[in-house]
């Protein structure tokens, strides 16, 4: 496993649509492990392939609760319900936060790391994270969705 370099806001790869993963081989499994390790290093809740420079449809999510770690390959949202206004940040936009409207609940179909079809029913924070990461796979950034006037730039030294 290895820490991958993150891609940041001006990197054009973040605006590109990721390609479907045809075969889940050892390289994809290693990518998933690296993405989890990278996300944990930076205290993130989720990470998408493009954020580590890989235009493949893979996301990882960890809500840091028992059983709440996910690797989703070729995820597709098949159902949305309700809305929630949430504050979001992104590892590719360090120290930037803003209010975004997301579905309150989603159903996602994907493959797991072993290539099995999975259906994930997510609500609240998990739904938010899944939608945020799937947006990355489509070249959509959370800054595209921030409600006007809610963008905050936090100086890390202010958090003391």
The per-residue pLDDT for 65 is: 82
* Global pTM value: 0.94
Number of domains in the chain: 1
Kindly report, residue by residue over 62-105, the tens digit of the pLDDT: 998 877 799 999 999 999 999 999 999 999 999 999 999 999 99
**DSSP-derived secondary structure for 35-65:** HHHHHHHTT-SEEEGGGGT--BSEEEEE-SS
CATH of residue 108: 3.90.45.10
- Mean pLDDT score of the chain: 94
**What average pLDDT score do residues 55-64 get?**
96
Residue 29's domain spans which residues? 12-159
In a domain, 105, yes or no: yes
Asked whether residue 65 is domain-assigned, the answer is yes
35-53 mean pLDDT: 96
Question: What's the average model confidence in pLDDT over 133-153?
Answer: 96
Determine which of 35-39, 100-104, 107-111, 151-155 has the lowest per-residue pLDDT on average. Answer: 151-155
What's the average model confidence in pLDDT over 112-140?
Answer: 97
Check if 133 is active-site.
Answer: yes
Q: Phi, psi (5° rounding) for residue 19?
A: -95, 150
Q: Is residue 34 part of a domain?
A: yes
9, 22, 109, 133: the active-site residue: 133
């Amino acid at each position: 496993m290895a820490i991958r370099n993150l891609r940041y806001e001006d990197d054009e790869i973040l605006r590109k649509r990721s390609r479907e993963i045809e075969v889940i081989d050892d390289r994809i499994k290693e990518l998933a492990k690296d993405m989890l390790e990278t996300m944990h290093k930076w205290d993130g809740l989720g990470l998408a392939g493009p954020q580590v420079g890989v235009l493949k449809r893979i996301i990882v999510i960890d809500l840091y609760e028992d059983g709440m770690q996910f690797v989703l390959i070729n995820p597709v949202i098949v159902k949305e319900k309700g809305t929630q206004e949430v504050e979001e940040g992104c590892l590719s936009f360090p120290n930037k936060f803003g209010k975004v409207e997301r579905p309150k609940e989603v159903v996602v179909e994907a493959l797991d790391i072993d290539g099995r079809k999975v259906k994930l029913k997510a609500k609240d924070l998990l739904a938010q994270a899944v939608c945020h990461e799937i947006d990355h796979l489509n070249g959509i950034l959370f800054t595209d969705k921030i409600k006007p006037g809610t963008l905050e730039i936090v100086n890390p030294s202010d958090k003391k």
